[in-house]
Amino acid sequence: MPTTHHETDAVPTRLAQRATWQVSRAYLRATGLLNTGFEAHGRGLRGYHYRLLAALDESGPLSQAELGRRTGIDRSDVTAALTELESRGLLARSVDPEHKRRNIVTITAEGVAQLLELDDVVSGIQDEFLAPLSAAQRRQFLTLITRLADGSR
Amino acid sequence: MPTTHHETDAVPTRLAQRATWQVSRAYLRATGLLNTGFEAHGRGLRGYHYRLLAALDESGPLSQAELGRRTGIDRSDVTAALTELESRGLLARSVDPEHKRRNIVTITAEGVAQLLELDDVVSGIQDEFLAPLSAAQRRQFLTLITRLADGSR
DNA sequence: GATTCAATGTTGGCCAGACCAACATAACAA
DNA sequence: TTGTTATGTTGGTCTGGCCAACATTGAATC
């Protein structure tokens, strides 16, 4: 709504036709929705935290490095996000006895509960984000965008 | 022996199925390609600069505020980017005589030449980005992603 | 066994891109 | 006139991703 009326024809066609331009706008809209959603119902947690909790819930205890690999988060950012989550009691870190340089990260019951809450938020945001598309189009889109994200050639 | 499963199943399905997650990954890949492309052949210019030059070339002289609206760039960022472009002689700013608070921005011949160079770079990147898709799929994708970017409901 | 090599967690920084708040000025509306 | 809106500018903030360096540890190589 912060847009003006006859802006649609004002966007340079050179940009409007570029897939990367539209992807970046879509990304912007998606993160905007996610940010406001997390802000309203996320108790101050953000994308990073959700990803980490989801990985832990699905795969069981993992090392920090493994967590980073699975969620696409850099090791250094994993450290910071985990510290935040740990301070909230949503997960626990313990040294791997057979691998003393490694931390084993385990999600707690509170963490699971929090994750389920966030799941609802994120699901709702998917619906909002995909609202312009029909169910068939959504499936189509997910297939295409995944291939593009992978970059598999 | 560190479990040598195939790591393809390592990404949490909770994330893999979310459109916003794949959009964000695709955006990451796109900006990565754009960054390396601009770094190699962009003479230090970036996305902001390309957008502004493209808008000027297509629409003729514009005010800074109009430029911002058409390219989706905030007024303050427009100012900074224009200063950079002006210092390179790619455009000129002049005060609108009938509207002294307004600057009229005009692209120069050098600006057009530079834009054409960048056009090639950006076009090449589109091909690279869209490589995983067939021609028909690319058209399909552009339609869908544009609708999602617009958020028109 | 000793010596390289790779992996891990942590700290501290950087960057792009998008935003926002405030301000002075100018144009316009009432 | 006064009040409101638009413009350009400055100077920030925030998020997400990234990188470099370091100490430590396990593994590999000789």
pLDDT digit string, tens, across residues A66-81: 999 999 999 999 999 9
Task: Examine the pLDDT at B43 and tell me if it is beyond 50.
Answer: yes
A52, A43 contact by CB (below 8 A): no
Higher pLDDT, B10 or A129: A129
Burial class (CB in 10 A: 0-12, 13-18, 19+), B88: middle
A80 nearest nt, CA–C1': C10
Q: How confident is the model at residue B4, as a pLDDT?
A: 35
Nucleotides of C under 7 A from a protein CB: 7-13, 16-22, 25-28
What is the pLDDT averaged over residues A82-95? 94
Q: Which residues, other chains included, contact B75 with Cβ-Cβ below 8 Å and sequence gap of 6+?
A: B64, B65, B68
Whether residue A1 has pLDDT greater than 50: no
Give percent above pLDDT 90 in chain A.
78
Q: First CA to last CA across chain B, in angstroms?
A: 53
Joined tokens for residue B30: 């796109």
Between B7 and A38, name the one with better pLDDT: A38
Structure tokens at B100: 């002294």
Is there a contact between A10 and B131 if contact means CB atoms under 8 Å apart? no
DSSP state of B62: E
Mean pLDDT of B131-147: 96
CA atoms of A89 and B52, how far apart (whole Å)? 48
DSSP state of B108: -
pLDDT of residue A98: 83
- What are the sequence ranges of the domains in chain B? 45-122
How many angstroms separate the CA atoms of A18 and A58, rounded?
37
Residue A63 phi/psi, 5-degree rounding, is -80, 165
Task: From residue B138, give the alpha-carbon distance in Å to each of B131, B134, B141.
Answer: 9, 6, 5
Residue B55 CB coordination number (10 Å): 25
Would you state the pLDDT for residue A9?
A: 53
Hey, are the CB atoms on B148 and A142 less than 8 Å from each other? no
Nearest CA in chain B to A23: B27
User: How far apart (Å, rounded) are the C-alpha atoms in residues B72 and B58?
Assistant: 15
**Cβ of A145 and B141 within 8 Å?**
yes
Inform me whether the pLDDT recorded for A89 exceeds 60: yes
Chain-chain contact of B148 with A132 (C-beta, under 8 angstroms) = yes
Task: Check whether B13 has a pLDDT greater than 50.
Answer: yes
Torsion, CA A81, CA A85, CA A88, CA A93, rounded to 10: -120
- CA B73 to C1' D5, in angstroms, rounded, equals 20
3-state secondary structure of B104: strand
pLDDT for A3 equals: 35
CA dihedral sign, ordered B97, B100, B102, B106: positive
Chain pair A-B, CB pairs under 8 angstroms: 179
Residue B112 has phi, psi (to 5 degrees) of -65, -45
User: Which chain B residue has its CA at the smallest distance from A28's CA?
Assistant: B149
- Determine whether the interchain pair B148/A141 forms a contact, defined as Cβ–Cβ distance below 8 Å: yes
What's residue B144's pLDDT? 96
Nearest chain B Cα distance for residue A83, angstroms: 21
Look up residue B10 and give its DSSP letter. G
Each residue's pLDDT tens digit, A106-153: 999 999 999 999 999 999 999 999 999 999 999 999 999 999 999 875
Q: What is the CATH number of domain A45-122?
A: 1.10.10.10
Question: Angle B142-B144-B148 (CA atoms, 0-180°, nearest 5)?
Answer: 115
The pTM score is 0.89
The pair phi, psi for residue A142, each rounded to 5°, is -60, -40
Three-class secondary structure of residue A107 per DSSP: strand
What amino acid occupies position B113? A
Q: Which nucleotides of D are covered by protein (CB under 7 A)?
A: 6-12, 15-21, 24-27
- Give bridge partners of residue B93 from the DSSP assignment: B105
Residue B46 CB in 7 A reach of strand C: yes
